[in-house]
Amino acid sequence: MDKKELETILADHAKWLSGNGGSRADLSRADLRRTNLSFANLSGANLSFANLSEANLTRACLREACLSRTNLSRADLSRADLSDNHYVIGCTLSNYPVVAYMQDNELCVTSGCRRGLTIADAREHWSLSNIVKWTQKHEAWGAQRLRQIDFLEAEASHLGWTK
C-alpha cells in the first residue's frame, strides 16, 4: 500500500469517526511494515492479519480496533490507546506500560524500546543478571517489570490465550 492510498483511507476513516460520512478503515491484510502511524486515530479500524511489524504506533488510538492475527512484532506501541481491544492486554506500573498480545500462537510483550519479546525473552531481559541493559539501573525497577509480565501471563491464561 502506498502512502497516498493510506492517507486516503485514514481521511475517510476520520470522517466516519466524526459521523460525517466516510467509511470504517479496512486495513486487513495490509502491509504496513515500518509505517509511521504515530498519533493516528484507528479506533474501530479493521487491522486483522495486517503486518504492522516495526511500525510506529506511538500515541495511536487503537480503541476497539480489530487486531486479530495482526503482526505487531517490534512495533512501537508507546502510549498507544489499546483499550476495549480483545486481542491486547495492557498493564501499567509507575507510568511504565507493558502490553501483551498473541503472535504466531505465542504470548509476546512490548514495553518501551523492547518490542515483540516472548515471555521467556522478557523474563531474561528484566532478570537481575541483565541489569546493565535496563533503562533504570535498580533492582526494584526490574522486579516491577517481572510483576507486570506475571500479571499479563496470568490474564492471557485466564482469557484462554495460553494453557
For 62-105, what is each residue's pLDDT tens digit? 999 998 878 887 788 888 888 777 778 877 776 677 888 887 78
Q: Which CATH number fits domain 1-81: 3.60.20.10, 3.90.950.10, 3.40.50.300, 2.160.20.80?
A: 2.160.20.80
pLDDT tens digits for range 13-70: 999 999 999 999 999 999 999 999 999 999 999 999 999 989 999 999 999 999 887 8
Phi, psi of 88 (to 5 degrees): -135, 140
Please give the model's pTM, rounded to 2 decimal places: 0.69
C-alpha cell at 87: 486481542
Cβ-count burial 90-101 (b if 16+ within 10 Å, e if not): bbeeeeebbbbb
Cβ proximity of 27 and 9 under 8 Å: yes
Per-residue pLDDT tens digits for 1-20 = 899 999 999 999 999 999 99
Distance between CA 43 and CA 110 in Å, rounded? 20
Whole-number Å distance between alpha carbons of 114 and 86: 22
The domain limits of the chain are 1-81, 87-163
Q: Which of 34, 64, 107, 95 is nearest to 6 (CA)?
A: 34
